[in-house]
């Protein structure tokens, strides 16, 4: 029997754990933000755990503004750093005395049932109640995958998304404010036919339509990781390796600047460059902070997928946190980011506080269960 090391040292009260997976750009972070607000409003204490291959995460910066405790597991995915996940769960449990923890795995990660959920169920009964595995799906990318094409993704990257859907307990179709109600209902029916073992739900994180229904499910059920899927780790590794990953934090300073216009010009120029190269975008996220004001920008495909929220206003100094996941060599990605930033910022002085660019290594999970651990209450 497989066991997790050192779990006897972790003294945690029984806490609800909600795992929200899904491919890059599906909208997981926005959902976590809105779900956290809802849970807090209902009188429960919450902690959040983010995950990435490198530090300097936009997700962590965003969620930390929610006045909740956030722990970050970086350097590898949850499955390849299971001890790091356990430590992060312990940290937010202790710091927040959390009733609920929501954890967001890396968007290019799959096989979560075998490598995360089953080990947690086996080793942490009485400490964690693990909710059904939710996999968020962009409606347009989901439809493309079900139509048999890759939505512009490398075939191995599309393979990862399909495996995420196959192992899900709940498929949560996101961004429903962008699709007509009649089309959404048809999409839900199709998804159920393609993935009959998964419950299909939908949500608009921005309008909160569907949020209550999803939270009611994941806050009360414990039928998590009901199945294991066959995963070809050679294809899985290739699907991650085709992506260049860049995380950076920079300080921008100079004459008073309209930071919203700067952000729009920068992200639009980046998108045009990627589109001209035919490079598929997993996501590009940016957070521009100027004092107490901040702007969030997202790119999840071609230029027409760019969106912004909030405002950083006008000022002489701003902090830029940037995460990019694009199908290209990481060195080329870094060069494009640097050149586009230089072309956009004009006379602004740029100071790089942190920058890391890489391609993920082969997934090597700490544990990979070959059986489904019985459900527990």
How is 209-241 classified by DSSP, letter by letter? TTHHHHHHHHTT------------HHHHHHHHH
Last residue of a domain, one of 239, 265, 289: 239
- Residue 142: inside a domain: yes
Share of the chain above pLDDT 70, in %: 96
206 and 263, same domain (yes or no) = no
Q: CA-to-CA distance for 323 and 248, rounded, in angstroms? A: 7
pLDDT tens digits, one per residue of 109-158: 999 999 999 999 999 988 999 999 999 999 999 999 999 999 999 999 99
- Residue 365: inside a domain: no
DSSP state of 12: -
124 and 264, same domain (yes or no) = no
156 and 51, same domain (yes or no) = yes
282 and 308, same domain (yes or no) = yes
Which pTM was predicted? 0.93
Structure tokens at 351: 């100071």
Last residue of a domain, one of 239, 260, 284: 239
- Residue 4: inside a domain: no
Q: Where are the beta strands (DSSP E) in the chain?
A: 15-22, 46-52, 69-74, 100-103, 128-130, 134-137, 170-173, 199-202, 244-258, 281-290, 293-299, 307-311, 314-326, 349-358
- What pLDDT, on the 0 to 100 scale, is given for residue 5? 43
Q: Domain of 252?
A: 243-358
- Residue 370: inside a domain: no
230 and 247, same domain (yes or no) = no
94 and 220, same domain (yes or no) = yes
Stretch 82-97: mean pLDDT: 95
Stretch 265-278: mean pLDDT: 97
Count how many domains the chain has. Answer: 2
167 and 229, same domain (yes or no) = yes
CB 370: neighbour CB atoms within 10 A? Answer: 8
pLDDT at residue 3 above 60? no
Q: Which band of pLDDT confidence, cut at 50, 70 and 90, is reported for residue 12?
A: very low
CB 78: neighbour CB atoms within 10 A? Answer: 25
253 and 300, same domain (yes or no) = yes
Q: The domain that contains 135 carries what CATH number? A: 3.40.50.300
Tell me if 19 sits within 8 A of 134, measured CB to CB.
yes
209 and 253, same domain (yes or no) = no
- What pLDDT, on the 0 to 100 scale, is given for residue 11? 46
- What pLDDT, on the 0 to 100 scale, is given for residue 195? 98
pLDDT tens digits, one per residue of 306-359: 999 999 999 999 999 999 999 999 999 999 999 999 999 878 999 999 999 999
Q: CA-to-CA distance for 203 and 31, rounded, in angstroms? A: 9
Q: What share of the chain is helix, strand, coil (3-state, %, to 5)?
A: 40, 25, 35
CB 17: neighbour CB atoms within 10 A? Answer: 24
134 and 256, same domain (yes or no) = no
- What pLDDT, on the 0 to 100 scale, is given for residue 55? 83
- Residue 5: inside a domain: no
Structure tokens at 329: 């060599």
Share of the chain above pLDDT 90, in %: 87
pLDDT tens digits, one per residue of 54-67: 888 888 888 888 67
Last residue of a domain, one of 239, 269, 291: 239
Mean of the per-residue pLDDT values for the chain? 93
More reliable by pLDDT, 373 or 66:
373
157 and 36, same domain (yes or no) = yes
Q: The domain that contains 263 carries what CATH number? A: 3.30.70
Phi and psi based region of residue 223 (left: phi greater than 0; alpha: psi -120 to 50; beta: remaining) = beta
How is 116-145 classified by DSSP, letter by letter? IIHHHHHH-TTTEEEPPPEEEE-HHHHHHH
286 and 202, same domain (yes or no) = no
- What pLDDT, on the 0 to 100 scale, is given for residue 244? 96
- What pLDDT, on the 0 to 100 scale, is given for residue 131? 97
């Amino acid at each position: 029997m497989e066991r997790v090391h050192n779990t006897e040292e972790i003294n945690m009260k029984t806490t609800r754990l909600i795992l929200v997976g899904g491919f890059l750009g599906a909208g997981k972070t926005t959902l976590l933000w809105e779900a956290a607000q809802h849970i807090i409003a209902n009188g429960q204490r919450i902690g959040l755990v983010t995950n990435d291959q490198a530090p300097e995460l936009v997700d962590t910066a965003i969620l930390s503004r929610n006045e909740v405790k956030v722990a970050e597991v970086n350097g590898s995915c949850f499955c390849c750093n299971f001890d790091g996940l356990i430590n992060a769960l312990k940290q937010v449990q202790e710091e927040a005395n959390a009733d609920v923890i929501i954890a967001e795995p890396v968007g290019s990660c799959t096989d979560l049932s075998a490598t995360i959920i089953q080990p947690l169920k086996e080793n942490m009964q009485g400490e964690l109640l693990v909710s059904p595995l939710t996999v968020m799906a962009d409606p347009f990318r989901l439809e493309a995958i079900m139509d048999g094409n890759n939505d512009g993704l490398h075939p191995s990257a599309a393979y990862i998304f399909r495996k995420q859907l196959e192992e899900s307990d709940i498929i949560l179709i996101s961004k429903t404010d962008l699709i007509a109600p009649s089309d959404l209902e048809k999409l839900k029916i199709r998804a159920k036919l393609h993935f009959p073992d998964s419950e299909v739900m939908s949500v608009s994180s921005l309008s909160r339509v569907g949020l209550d229904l999803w939270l009611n499910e994941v806050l009360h059920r414990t039928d998590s990781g009901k199945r294991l899927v066959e995963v070809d780790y050679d294809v899985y590794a290739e699907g991650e390796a085709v992506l260049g990953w860049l995380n950076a934090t920079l300080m921008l300073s100079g004459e008073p600047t309209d930071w919203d216009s700067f952000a729009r010009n920068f992200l639009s120029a980046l998108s045009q460059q990627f589109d001209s190269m035919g490079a598929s975008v997993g996501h590009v996220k940016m957070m521009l902070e100027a004092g107490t004001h901040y702007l969030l920008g997202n790119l999840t495909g071609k230029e027409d997928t760019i969106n912004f929220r909030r405002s950083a206003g006008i000022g002489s100094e701003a902090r830029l946190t940037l995460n990019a996941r694009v199908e290209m060599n990481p060195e080329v990605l870094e060069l494009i980011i640097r050149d586009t930033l230089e072309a956009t910022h004009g006379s602004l002085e740029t100071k790089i506080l942190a920058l890391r660019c890489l391609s993920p290594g082969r997934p090597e999970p700490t544990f990979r269960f070959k059986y489904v651990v019985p459900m527990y209450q």
